[in-house]
Structure 1
Amino acid sequence: MGPARLWLLGAGILASVHCQPFPAHGDKSPGAHRPPGHQLSEPAPAYHKVTPTITSFALRLYKRLAAGTPGNILFSPVSLSSTLALLSLGAQGDTSTQILEGLGFNLTETPAADVHRGFQSLLRTLDLPSPKLELKVGSSLFLDKRLKPLQHFLDSTKELYGAFAFSANFSDPATTWRQINEYVRKQTYGHVTDGLPQFSHDTLMVLSNYIFFKAKWQHPFDRYQTRKRESFSVDDRTCLRVPMMQQREMHRFLYDQEVACTVLQMGYSGSAWLLLVLPDPGRMRQVEAALQPETLRKWGQLFLPSLLDLHLPRFSVSSTYNLEEILPQIGLGSIFSLEADLSGITGWLNKTISRVSHKAAVDMNEKGTQAGAASGLLSQPPPLNTTSAPHAHFNRPFLLLLWEVTTQSLLFLGKVVNPVAG
């Protein structure tokens, strides 16, 4: 048998793992890092131990993507980080440690067991039903009938990450590829399609982690006020005509003079809000360099509610990335090395991941959003005159950060450079 492969998909995240298909000596346990199967009672929700790290990881990854991606950027920090954390359950020794530390966890302050319980708490909380918000998070394992995964790996992934195992026939790769893509499409209500690249007959397993978000604005736009063809400057040389939504409503926003950007917080009818960051003309790189957790905290403390004249493009964007060249630059190179030990999955040694891809999509319209970031002088932009409201005209590239409020988790992070690129 040739080199076997393991694929991971999450909203979508994909990774192929090259394995040498011979059994390990003895029944090797997944290591002492594997957390117990019960939830510990804590004074604060366990997800507080992971959400700040997810945000920091997301901002580090965003900057790497922005350095090499001239167009739209979009990914799900929750989906990507939870998939990598789940993968660490199948890793042994140093490899498990390197994955979690690569995500940004200090395992002295937050042991691996607490990290996994934090993700368990986060995913369960996000998946709670809400009458005003559609938010669906889940994981599934598709295992080839030739594969004999270790039971404690399956038990841990089910208990901590809600991952259920399904049997699949990877000897017919084309059919199985269509079945798994159809599964992900249904789980994300058609929002993430064809996220999984074609794989061959030596694929043995696919891990699917998906996230779907849909919510209505607290202040919906009137579609009759949308201008169908308004100017949007992609860059100094390219100007597009895009549908531009308009409203005059109370919003929480600020102008950060030091960073040179307008920051707008838009609420949804459920427990989520959207942060939109509009750099001053020519200041996108300056704003991106300032994206730090402390910057987000500063903005969150200084928002002021005010009547705002808002112009926001209606858009639908998606992005797909191969991250195997990016993740090593932010500390996750260990899972791509020949020394990586992922034998906690099947007991086989010498597995290395050769590919990690990610796909995400966001659709924003008049009703709401569907989707399958130091001290300074801050103030509101001054009104043009005594009778007009401050305005925010998103007619050039801007950043978006979509948050779930209860857990303070970053569901999606991106940059809209071309609203009609698809």
Structure 2
Amino acid sequence: MFTLKFCLTLAGLCSLVPGHLAEQLSASKDTEHPFSASRRISPYMADFSFDLYRLLVSKSNTTNIFFSPASITTVFTLLALGAKSTTHDQILQGLGFNLTEISEKEIFEGFHQLLHTLNLPGNELQLTTSNGLFIDKTLKVVEKFLEDSKKLYASDTFSTNFEDNEAAKKQINDYVEKETQGKIVDLIQDLHPDAIFVLVNCIFFKGKWEKPFEAELTEERPFHVDDKTTVPVQTMNRLGMLQVTYDDELACWVVKMDYLGNASAFFILPDTGKLEQVETALSRQQFHKWSSNLHRRAVTLYFPKVSISGSYDLKILSDMGITHVFGKEADLSGITEQKELRLSQALHKAVLNIDEKGTEASGATFLEAIPMSIPPTIDFNRPFLTSIYETNTRSILFFGKVMNPSGN
């Protein structure tokens, strides 16, 4: 008996041009709060972010780390729509959802609203998501899975000839390239020869700083990757009023910078030698504490221009309890009634670019009143953490660590 397999692929871009969502999701019927359904799932997504981050650090603590928790959780909960029994429970629990606290219905409603919110038109942010299902033309897919994935996740479905491996790979890569305006090319290098079903999720974020840097002030400065390695990096700087706090207990600066629209970024700068201490302490409670202690003050900020990416084989999620879906024990009979369908590949790529304007030039000039006292200097000239989140849904879109801003 042969085994049917499929590949799950994710692509996340931060500060790059977005694609479009083919069909806008319907508005949530929740009446308590306009974003209550998505906010119900956001704490679990945050916990998953920190757990996955620490897992990736355990595999390599000397490289850049950057991923999209929103993208990964979206596509795996979409997969859970078609999973049953232990396979289903492992996916949701591995993503951090406590099924005694939140129901499966609430989880799917939360992602439905999250995707709807991220894809609202007319926002000052360009922030969109897309989901593509590439299904072998010979595969009979359960109609309810197609209906639910379309209704809840606005998924686009494509008939694919997986017998022609190169043609199938090209079809999927062309879709990703189109959705990313050419920013991600040839995402899939090798498509498993037995693949018959590919899920693709993309999340795109393009934002402008609420208070941009002056490009003419950017200059080359040293960035200390570690005790022995220093690299030259184009570094922005500005003197202005920013939301900051210094955590004496963990020995780190926290700087919050807002984008125009409904997104903000946290940048956490540990003191020299304190990075591991900060990583160990990462939690929802810690972020809440930092947020509560932020205050506006004049600072001189030095911040490197960043161009990094992260590419991951998500079979690493086996270490978080999601095991059956990758093996012979997989029960994905909610996707197809044909037996022994399992997940053969799960790829994720995220890209981060940070420059003076965010992503686009701006003709605006910002003038601020600065106190006469000498402000402190916060110099991001060593490894730091970053978190970019959508403020309405309180969802972490991207999370990572910049060890080397130039991506080397």
TM-score (norm 2): 0.90
Q: Give the Cα separation in 1 of the matches to 2:28 and 2:268.
A: 38
Q: Give the Cα separation in 1 of the matches to 2:116 and 2:58.
A: 34
Match of 2:163? 171
Q: Give the Cα separation in 2 of the matches to 1:65 and 1:418.
A: 16
* Cα displacement (A) at 1:94: 2.3
Q: Give the Cα separation in 2 of the matches to 1:340 and 1:168.
A: 23
Q: Give the Cα separation in 2 of the matches to 1:9 and 1:49.
A: 26
Match of 2:350? 360
* Cα displacement (A) at 1:38: 10
Q: Give the Cα separation in 2 of the matches to 1:387 and 1:159.
A: 57
Deviations 1:216-246 (A, max 9, x none): 001111111000x210000011100010001
Within the candidate set 331, 340, 349, 2:339 is matched to 349
Match of 1:71? 63
Work out whether 1:336 is the aligned partner of 2:332.
no
Work out whether 1:267 is the aligned partner of 2:258.
yes
* Cα displacement (A) at 1:201: 4.3
Match of 1:111? 103
Match of 2:198? 206
Q: Give the Cα separation in 1 of the matches to 2:12 and 2:205.
A: 14
Identical columns (%): 40
CA contact (8 A) 1:188 1:211 kept: no
Q: Give the Cα separation in 2 of the matches to 1:42 and 1:335.
A: 36
Deviations 1:17-66 (A, max 9, x none): xxxxxxxxxxxxxxxxxxxx996534132112211111100100000101
CA contact (8 A) 1:192 1:361 kept: no
CA contact (8 A) 2:4 2:340 kept: no
CA contact (8 A) 2:5 2:342 kept: no
CA contact (8 A) 1:317 1:419 kept: yes
CA contact (8 A) 1:191 1:361 kept: no
TM-score (norm 1): 0.87
Match of 2:19? none
CA contact (8 A) 1:92 1:344 kept: yes
Q: Secondary structure at the match of 1:11?
A: strand
Deviations 1:360-402 (A, max 9, x none): 00111111059xxxxxxxxxxxxxx973211110000100000
Residue type of the partner of 1:151? E
Within the candidate set 375, 386, 393, 2:379 is matched to 393
CA contact (8 A) 1:55 1:293 kept: yes
Q: Give the Cα separation in 1 of the matches to 2:270 and 2:56.
A: 18
Match of 1:89? 81
* Cα displacement (A) at 1:416: 0.5
Within the candidate set 118, 125, 135, 1:126 is matched to 118
Q: Give the Cα separation in 1 of the matches to 2:140 and 2:393.
A: 36
Q: How many residue pairs get matched?
A: 383
Within the candidate set 23, 30, 35, 1:41 is matched to 30
Residue type of the partner of 2:158? F
Q: Give the Cα separation in 2 of the matches to 1:259 and 1:195.
A: 38
* Cα displacement (A) at 1:357: 2.2
CA contact (8 A) 1:398 1:416 kept: yes
CA contact (8 A) 2:6 2:344 kept: no
Distance 1:122 1:109, change over 3 A: same
Match of 1:373? none
Q: Give the Cα separation in 1 of the matches to 2:340 and 2:193.
A: 20
* Cα displacement (A) at 1:8: 1.1
Match of 1:10? 10
Residue type of the partner of 1:346? T
Residue type of the partner of 1:238? T
Distance 1:142 1:281, change over 3 A: same
CA contact (8 A) 1:12 1:208 kept: no
CA contact (8 A) 2:3 2:340 kept: no
Match of 1:283? 274
Q: Give the Cα separation in 2 of the matches to 1:137 and 1:353.
A: 22
Unaligned runs of 5+ in 1: 14-36, 371-384
Task: Name the Cα RMSD after superposition.
Answer: 2.0
Residue type of the partner of 1:329? D
Match of 1:379? none
Match of 2:310? 319
CA contact (8 A) 2:132 2:156 kept: yes
Q: Give the Cα separation in 2 of the matches to 1:192 and 1:287.
A: 32
Match of 1:34? none
Q: Give the Cα separation in 2 of the matches to 1:213 and 1:127.
A: 11
Deviations 1:296-346 (A, max 9, x none): 01111110001110000011100101131x312222223234322111111
Distance 1:12 1:408, change over 3 A: closer
Q: Give the Cα separation in 1 of the matches to 2:405 and 2:250.
A: 24
Residue type of the partner of 1:10? L
Q: Give the Cα separation in 2 of the matches to 1:395 and 1:129.
A: 37
Q: Secondary structure at the match of 1:368?
A: coil
* Cα displacement (A) at 1:191: 3.1
Q: Give the Cα separation in 2 of the matches to 1:108 and 1:415.
A: 33
